[in-house]
Amino acid sequence: MKKIMITLALIMMTTISQAQTLGECQQAAEKNYPLIKQYGLIAKTTQLTVKNIQKAWLPQLTASAQATYQSAVTAWPERMQTMYQQMGLNMKGLSKDQYKIGVDLQQTVYDGGSISNQRNIAQQEGKVQEAQTEANLYQVRQRVNEMYFSLLLLNEQIQLNEDVKTLLLSSENKLSAMVKGGTAATSDLDNVRAERLSVEQQNESLKQQKQMLQRMLSVFCGIEVNNIHKPEPIQVTSSASNRPEMRLYDSQLKLTEAKEKALDTQLRPKLGLFAQGYYGYPGLNMFEDMMNRKWSLNGIVGIKLSWNVSALYTHKNDKARLSAQREMIENAREVFLFNNKMEEIQQSENISRYQTMIKSDDEIIVLRTNVRKAAESKLAHGIIDINSLLREISNENAAKTQQTIHEIDMLKEMYHLKYTNNE
Task: Return d(Cα 140, Cα 148) in angstroms, integer.
Answer: 12
Q: Among the listed ranges 39-48, 216-225, 284-293, which one has the minimum average pLDDT value?
A: 284-293
- In this prediction, residue 12 has a pLDDT band, given cuts at 50, 70 and 90, of very low
Q: CATH number of the domain at 20-58+111-269+307-420, please? A: 1.20.1600.10
Spell out the domain ranges in the chain: 20-58+111-269+307-420
Using the predicted structure, report yes or no on whether residue 287 has a pLDDT greater than 50.
Answer: yes
What is the overall mean pLDDT for the chain? Answer: 86
Q: What is the dihedral of CA 231, 234, 239, 243, to 10 degrees?
A: -10
User: What is the per-residue pLDDT across 317-375, written as a single tens digit (0 to 9) for each?
Assistant: 999 999 999 999 999 999 999 998 898 889 899 999 999 999 999 999 999 999 989 98
Please state, in angstroms and as integers, the Cα–Cα distance from residue 36 to each residue in 10, 27, 137, following that order. Answer: 36, 12, 7
* Nearest Cα to Cα of residue 200 among 320, 177, 192, 254: 192
Looking at the chain, the whole-number percentage of residues with pLDDT higher than 90 is 39
User: What is the per-residue pLDDT across 196-245, written as a single tens digit (0 to 9) for each?
Assistant: 999 999 999 999 999 999 999 999 899 998 888 888 888 877 666 778 88
Side-chain half-sphere CA neighbours of 250 within 13 A? 11
Range of 75-79, 131-135, 243-247, 324-328 with top mean pLDDT: 324-328
User: What is the per-residue pLDDT across 361-378, written as a single tens digit (0 to 9) for each?
Assistant: 999 999 999 998 998 888
Segment 88-92 shows an average pLDDT of 71
Backbone angles phi, psi at 192, to 5 degrees: -65, -40
The set of residues, in sequence order, having a beta carbon less than 8 Å from that of 142 and lying 6+ positions away, is 416, 419
Task: Return d(Cα 361, Cα 401) in angstroms, integer.
Answer: 10
* Nearest Cα to Cα of residue 252 among 317, 336, 138: 336
Task: Return d(Cα 27, Cα 19) in angstroms, integer.
Answer: 15
Backbone angles phi, psi at 156, to 5 degrees: -65, -40
Q: Do 108 and 270 meet the contact criterion of CB atoms below 8 Å apart?
A: yes
- In this prediction, residue 3 has a pLDDT band, given cuts at 50, 70 and 90, of very low
Give me the pLDDT at residue 238, please.
Answer: 61
Using the predicted structure, report yes or no on whether residue 184 has a pLDDT greater than 80.
Answer: no
